[in-house]
């Protein structure tokens, strides 16, 4: 499986339409509540906090661990992050009317979901456990590298005048997501 977290989550988050025509997050997460519903005897507590049953919504947004990660990136006063992952996916496409902010939001949501799911699986298969603050630092590094690449590609893709610094993805990142 590709380890590129900006590709894998696209599959995890693959949108499909509900009966109301709304995009919803794929339910491919086989969380422990689903395993239990199939009759499998498994511990049912969340692997991130061990304080509540593991459901998809708990793991991705309601968990104290996940909440700490989301809150770190969406603390800017322009953001009012919805409470469920399905709503977040819809919301992040049109958060502020700023095209760059929206693009970064979409990348960031994918990265957060991927890192939370990967951390959950790491805890399931081994004894290693990263703190939320470590996870946040890893996501910051990944997004900054990705955005640096996007800025560089824009500069070299055409003989356009270089965009002003304040128009770059990285500048937008530090303005809104990592002030
Ligand atoms: Zn939890």
Domain ranges of the chain: 8-176
The pLDDT of residue 17 is above 80 = no
What is the CA(67)–ligand 1 centre distance, in A?
9
What is the CA(116)–ligand 1 centre distance, in A?
11
Q: How confident is the model at residue 34 (pLDDT cuts 50, 70, 90)?
A: confident
What is the CA(18)–ligand 1 centre distance, in A?
27
The pLDDT of residue 158 is above 80 = no
What is the CA(61)–ligand 1 centre distance, in A?
9
Q: Given CA atoms 9, 14, 15, 18 in this order, what sign does their dihedral have?
A: negative
If 0-12 CB within 10 Å is exposed, 13-18 middle and 19+ buried, where does residue 3 land?
Answer: exposed
Q: If you average pLDDT over each of 37-41, 99-103, 129-133, which comes out highest? A: 129-133
List helix spans (H) across the chain: 8-12, 32-37, 56-57, 64-73, 85-91, 99-125, 132-157, 169-176
Q: What is the pLDDT of residue 81?
A: 92
Q: How confident is the model at residue 15 (pLDDT cuts 50, 70, 90)?
A: very low
Q: What is the pLDDT of residue 27?
A: 54
Identify residues whose C-beta is under 5 A from ligand 1, the ion.
Answer: 46, 48-49, 63
What is the CA(82)–ligand 1 centre distance, in A?
18
| Token pair for 135 | 């996870």
What is the CA(162)–ligand 1 centre distance, in A?
45
Q: What is the pLDDT of residue 24?
A: 42
What is the CA(29)–ligand 1 centre distance, in A?
15
Q: What is the pLDDT of residue 167?
A: 82
Q: How far is the C-alpha of 22 from the C-alpha of 33, rounded, in Å?
A: 24
What Å distances lie between residue 152 and 41, 80, 109, 158, 162, CA to CA?
A: 51, 30, 22, 11, 10
Q: How confident is the model at residue 154 (pLDDT cuts 50, 70, 90)?
A: confident
Q: What is the pLDDT of residue 35?
A: 73
What is the CA(53)–ligand 1 centre distance, in A?
7
Segment 112-137, tens digit of pLDDT: 999 999 999 899 888 689 999 999 99
Q: What's the whole-model pTM score?
A: 0.79
What is the CA(65)–ligand 1 centre distance, in A?
6
């Amino acid at each position: 499986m590709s380890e590129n977290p900006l590709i894998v989550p696209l599959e995890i988050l693959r949108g499909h339409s509900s009966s109301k025509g709304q995009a919803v997050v794929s339910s491919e997460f086989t969380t422990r509540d689903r395993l239990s519903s199939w009759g499998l005897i498994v511990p049912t507590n969340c692997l991130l906090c061990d304080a509540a049953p593991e459901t998809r919504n708990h793991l991705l947004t309601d968990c104290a661990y996940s909440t700490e990660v989301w809150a770190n990136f969406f603390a800017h006063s322009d953001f009012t992050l919805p409470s469920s992952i399905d709503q977040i996916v819809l919301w992040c496409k049109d958060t502020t009317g700023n095209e760059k902010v929206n693009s970064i939001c979409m990348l960031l949501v994918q990265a957060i979901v991927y890192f939370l799911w990967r951390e959950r699986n790491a805890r399931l298969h081994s004894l290693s456990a990263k703190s939320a603050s470590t996870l946040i630092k890893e996501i910051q590094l990944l997004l900054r590298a990705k955005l640096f690449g996007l800025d560089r590609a824009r500069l070299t893709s055409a003989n356009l005048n270089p965009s002003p610094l304040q128009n770059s993805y990285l500048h937008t990142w530090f303005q809104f997501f990592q002030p």
